[in-house]
Amino acid sequence: MARRSVRRGDKDVDFSHAAYCADQLTRNGAAHRLTDVGDHDHNESVRQALPRIVRFFDESAKTH
């Protein structure tokens, strides 16, 4: 499953980019989930998302 962390209030990267990526994943049959990481600026959004991304890959590695 693909996961993408987003923040609707991000002033640097518009939410429509995440919606576009989600649409492309859906069209290609990929399971995915968008995750709102909270009301943070762009850089803090990255800091909030990175531990979640690492945890996702760590958990995925345990199941394979």
Read off the pLDDT of residues 36-52 as tens digits, 9 standing for 90 and up.
888 888 898 889 999 99
Q: Record the pTM.
A: 0.66
pLDDT in tens, 4-31: 665 566 778 888 888 899 999 999 999 9
Residue type, 43: N
What is the rounded CA–CA span in Å between residue 7 and residue 18? Answer: 9
What's residue 26's pLDDT? 94
Yes or no: say if 13 and 42 are a contact pair by the CB < 8 Å rule: yes
